[in-house]
Amino acid sequence: MAIKDLQIRQGNVDIVLEIVDVGEPREFEKFGKAGKVSTAVAKDETGDIKLTLWNDDIDKVKAGDKIHLTNGYVSEWQGEPQLTTGKFGKLEIVGESKEEKKEMTEPPNEEEDKKIYKETEEKTEEAEKKVHGEELNEKPVTDEEKVE
């Protein structure tokens, strides 16, 4: 099964995914019982999907993990499909994505970061000049001036 094949309200989902990101857990109380919920982003070769993590599953999963979800359920939240274990599903860690782990654990490349920052700064300056008419040799119009 692949993400592209999932349909809203589909049950019995059996899928292997890589976790891209895990959001901050939120606490709630329902029917007098406290719980935790978190939204993660998971992907496969066909796309990505939000994955709702409940209680103990939140602490099990981290970015870069490869998971196997069995008997999962596709719900809908604000028009978007979300995958969850639901009441009867099971989530297990089956490995780690080497690519994600490498990116998450590598120290920052300061030289590359400085280069990207400088390029972005230069592009921003160029864009500001165009917006303010400096490159077009135009004088900015003030509120007092009438434009004809």
Read off the pLDDT of residues 104-143 as tens digits, 9 standing for 90 and up. 567 777 888 888 888 888 888 888 777 666 555 556 666 6
Q: Are residues 92 and 118 in the same domain?
A: no
Provide the whole-model pTM.
Answer: 0.63
In a domain, 26, yes or no: yes
Within-domain flag for 83: yes
**Over 80: is that where the pLDDT of 55 sits?**
yes
Angstrom distance (rounded) from CA 4 to CA 48: 8
Q: Are 65 and 119 contained in the same domain?
A: no
- What confidence tier does 87 reach under pLDDT thresholds 50, 70, 90? confident
What does the pLDDT average to over 88-113?
76
100 with 111, same domain? no
Looking at residue 135, its pLDDT comes to 53
Domain holding 58: CATH number? 2.40.50.140
Domain range for 50 is: 3-105
Residue 143's pLDDT is what? 62
Total number of domains in the chain: 2
Which CA distances in Å does 52 have to 14, 30, 113?
Answer: 15, 17, 33
3-state secondary structure (DSSP) of residue 53: strand
28 & 39 share domain:
yes
The reported pLDDT for the residue numbered 129 is 75
- The answer to whether residues 65 and 121 belong to one domain is no
Question: Which residues are paired to 112 by β-bridges?
Answer: none
Amino acid (one-letter) located at 114 = K
Percent of the chain with pLDDT over 90: 51
Tell me: pLDDT of 74 over 90.
Answer: yes
Domain assignment of residue 121, yes or no = yes
Looking at per-residue pLDDT, the higher value among 96 and 11 belongs to 11
Residues 10 and 46 placed together within one structural domain of the fold: yes
* 49 and 22 within one domain: yes
The per-residue pLDDT of the chain, averaged, comes to 84
Written as six digits, the tokens of 118 are: 């400088």
Residue scoring higher pLDDT (96 or 43): 43
Residues 53 and 124 reside in one and the same domain = no
pLDDT category at 45 given cuts 50, 70, 90 is: very high
- The answer for residues whose C-beta is within 8 angstroms of residue 12's C-beta and 6 or more apart is 71, 72
pLDDT at 111: 85
